[in-house]
Amino acid sequence: MRMFRSVRLMLLALLVSLIPASSYAGVFISVGFAPPVLPVYVQPPCPEPGLMWTPGYWAYGPDGYYWVPGAWVPAPYEGALWTPGYWGWGAGLYVWHPGYWGPHVGYYGGVNYGFGYMGIGFVGGAWRGGVFAYNTAIMHVGPGIRNVYVDRTIVERNTVVMNSRVAFSGGPGGINHPPTAQESAFSREPHVAATSFQAQHANAAMHDTNAYASHNGGRPGNLVASRPLQAESHPAPERNVTVNNNINRNVTVDRNTTNENTYNRNSNNENVNRNNGNSYGHSTNESRPAPQERSAPKAQEHSAPKQENHKDEGHGHGR
């Protein structure tokens, strides 16, 4: 049995290594057991204008789930916004839906990653006149960032309350937030896949033994990247979907969990962050692939190893 598992994981690693970075948006990986809860961490301050926060997440590799550190990433084109990937439950499996760049933030399962990605859309900032402005009600920026504003109401309206810092959508114990009409429309817009530097950043995490939950017990030591990833320019995708630009006001709430208990880090984020300016990991470089639009994904199932128990105590995720 142990040998069978080793062979199976080697095949999975080979499969992942053969997938080019530009194809990640079209390939799904499915697992038989849920990812660990999202850990607590402090968002490092944005060091320069034009950087977009991409939250950390649990990916799946040869030794199970591993943590990909959150990172500041230069927008690949003016007006680009990042939609995080997410694990969604269906037919008894947890399927990974990769993130992407687009003119709007689409559906990401209602998973509350924090730092502007509160479950619905993105409330950490907006493009204004070709320049990105940061909402410092939820985002942490350095002293050199002048294009800022404060809007706490939008944060409250677009927060999905969840218990136990759940990292997946649907299924037993998962987030219960089906996509709104607007989120579905945004998800159908033309998109640009993760940059090659984002893909290499994730690849570095996959080869870091300490990033795996099986080694760190769901408490990764390297939670955020030590510096922004390198810039990679792409042309903006042509838009062929007409959508309502008003922010959707529908919020799915877990009535068994209070905003105060689940999101107490929102109010403390600014004070905590200012005492933790540089607490990140590393990034790597790679040649740039040609940009492409997201194609219809195809599911690819992998038998999962025996489920491991990850306790909640001591876990959480930053806001």
Instruction: Flag whether 103 is in a domain.
Output: yes
25-34: pLDDT as tens digits: 445 688 999 9
**Overall number of domains in the chain:** 1
Q: Which long-range contacts (CB under 8 A, 24 or more apart) does 249-252 make?
A: 249/157, 250/120, 250/180, 251/119, 251/120, 251/157, 251/158, 251/159, 251/160, 252/110, 252/119, 252/160, 252/175, 252/176, 252/177, 252/178
Q: Phi, psi (5° rounding) for residue 15? A: -60, -45
- C-alpha to C-alpha distances, 100 to 86, 226, 259, nearest whole angstrom: 11, 22, 28
Which runs of E-coded beta strand occur in 125-206? 125-128, 131-135, 148-149, 168-169, 192-193
Q: In sequence order, which residues have a C-beta less than 8 Å from that of residue 285 and are 6 or more positions away?
A: 197, 200, 230
The reported pLDDT for the residue numbered 38 is 96
Handedness of CA 159, 135, 48, 23 (dihedral sign): positive
Instruction: Flag whether 84 is in a domain.
Output: yes
| Per-residue DSSP letter, 168 | E
Instruction: Flag whether 300 is in a domain.
Output: no
265-275: pLDDT as tens digits: 333 443 333 33
DSSP string of 52-95?
EEE--EEEEETTEEEEE-BEEEE-SSTT-EEEPPEEEEETTEEE
Instruction: Flag whether 54 is in a domain.
Output: yes
Question: Is 213:66 a contact under the CB 8 Å cutoff?
Answer: yes
The reported pLDDT for the residue numbered 237 is 86
Question: Is 197:230 a contact under the CB 8 Å cutoff?
Answer: yes
Give the strand pairing for 192-193 and 57-61: unpaired
Instruction: Flag whether 87 is in a domain.
Output: yes
Q: Look over the chain and give the mean of its residue pLDDT values, rounded to a whole number.
A: 76
Cβ atoms < 10 Å from Cβ of 80? 21
Q: How confident is the model at residue 298 (pLDDT cuts 50, 70, 90)?
A: very low
Tell which residue, 96, 304, 89, 307, has the closest CA to residue 214. Answer: 307
Q: Which two tokens stand for residue 20?
A: 């080019």
176-198: pLDDT as tens digits: 999 999 999 999 999 999 999 99
The reported pLDDT for the residue numbered 162 is 65
The residue range of the domain holding 122 is 2-273
C-alpha 86/C-alpha 94 separation (Å) is 10
| Per-residue DSSP letter, 23 | G
C-alpha 236/C-alpha 239 separation (Å) is 9
Instruction: Flag whether 18 is in a domain.
Output: yes
C-alpha 70/C-alpha 220 separation (Å) is 12
Instruction: Flag whether 189 is in a domain.
Output: yes
Predicted model pTM: 0.69
52-66: pLDDT as tens digits: 999 999 999 999 999
Element (H, E) at 6: helix 2-18
